[in-house]
């Protein structure tokens, strides 16, 4: 069994594993709502919208995480504001912000001497470069995400399954939507250093989508999604070590593969028992 344990005897791979597990938990909390509400395009737009802040931080020698947080805040505020414009569909507003922020980021990065290196690191991440301070920040982000998820769970449920009822119950759906966007931004900021913005949706969407056919509640989807993400992290790092492939991309690819395997197994199970389509998890 040495082939199974040998990679994880190396310190930087151990840190990568812990970083991936923490990110998987954060993404499970945010990604479940992304999947249930059909917000994948928004997640993609927000992940690429981090580029201007990261580019400015790289250009002036600042902290990339701070730059990513700043861009995530701008994207969240922009999506919230444009969502209240009656004559503009939400997808149109998100698309415009997506292109605008991405273009601005590329313009900024093109002023840097290390354009190719900066952009490659931003797009694809470097899970093997996770440091101890990164683990501390990821742990803090997980605590914040957990607190937001617990405190906002009732409002998020109403917003997802019955937005009209959310108003009648006084749950302030607009505020709940803004907080949910902030939670999504937190997950993306925490993840981009691990797998990069091009692959962040692999951990954000694939594990919750894989968990959906097997869980019977929203909390169940979150728990199972965290387990799937952690499994993809462990397996991806193991495969990357033995096959000499890019670690972040291998983790994301394995997460997507687990999604297809999950739905294939679910389809076979329901074909044997009932032709009915599995329902969404209940609002718990």
Q: Residues 160-193: pLDDT tens digits?
A: 877 777 677 666 777 888 898 889 988 988 887 7
- For residue 48, is pLDDT > 90? no
CA distance 85 to 87: 6
pLDDT, tens digit, for every residue of 125-141? 778 888 888 889 899 99
Question: Can you give the pLDDT at residue 168?
Answer: 72
Q: In angstroms, what is the C-alpha Rg of the chain?
A: 19
Which residue, 255, 209, 178, 271, is CA-closest to 23?
A: 255
- For residue 280, is pLDDT > 80? no
Encoded tokens for 147: 């607190």
Question: Can you give the pLDDT at residue 63?
Answer: 75
Q: To 10 degrees, what angle do helices 51-59 and 64-83 make? A: 150
pLDDT, tens digit, for every residue of 97-117? 888 888 888 787 777 665 554
pLDDT band at 28 (very low <50, low <70, confident <90, very high): very high
CB atoms within 10 A of CB 136: 10
Model confidence, pTM: 0.85
pLDDT, tens digit, for every residue of 232-245? 999 999 999 999 98
Which residue, 248, 262, 254, is CA-closest to 20?
A: 248
């Amino acid at each position: 069994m040495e082939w199974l344990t040998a990679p994880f005897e190396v310190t930087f791979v151990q840190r990568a594993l812990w970083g991936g597990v923490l990110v998987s938990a954060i993404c499970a909390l945010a990604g479940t709502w992304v999947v249930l509400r059909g917000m994948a395009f928004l997640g993609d737009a927000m992940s690429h919208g981090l580029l201007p802040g990261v580019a400015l931080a790289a250009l002036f020698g600042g902290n990339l995480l701070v730059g990513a947080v700043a861009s995530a805040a701008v994207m969240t505020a922009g999506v919230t504001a444009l969502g209240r414009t009656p004559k503009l569909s939400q997808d149109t507003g998100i698309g415009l912000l997506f292109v605008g922020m991405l273009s601005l980021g590329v313009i900024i990065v093109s002023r840097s001497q290390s354009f190719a290196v900066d952009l490659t690191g931003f797009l694809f991440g470097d899970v093997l470069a996770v440091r101890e301070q990164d683990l501390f920040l990821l742990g803090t982000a997980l605590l914040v995400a957990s607190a937001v998820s617990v405190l906002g769970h009732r409002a998020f449920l109403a917003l997802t399954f019955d937005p009209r009822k959310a108003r009648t119950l006084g749950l302030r759906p607009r505020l709940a939507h803004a907080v949910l966007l902030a939670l999504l931004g937190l997950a993306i900021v925490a993840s981009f250093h691990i797998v990069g913005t091009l692959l962040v949706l692999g951990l954000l969407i694939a594990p919750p989508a894989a968990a959906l056919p097997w869980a019977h509640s929203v909390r169940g989807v979150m728990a199972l999604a965290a387990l799937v993400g952690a499994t993809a992290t462990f397996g991806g790092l193991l495969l990357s070590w033995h096959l000499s492939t890019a670690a972040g991309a291998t983790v994301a690819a394995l997460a997507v593969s687990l999604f297809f395997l999950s739905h294939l197994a679910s389809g076979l199970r329901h074909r044997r028992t009932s032709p009915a389509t599995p329902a969404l998890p209940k609002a718990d």
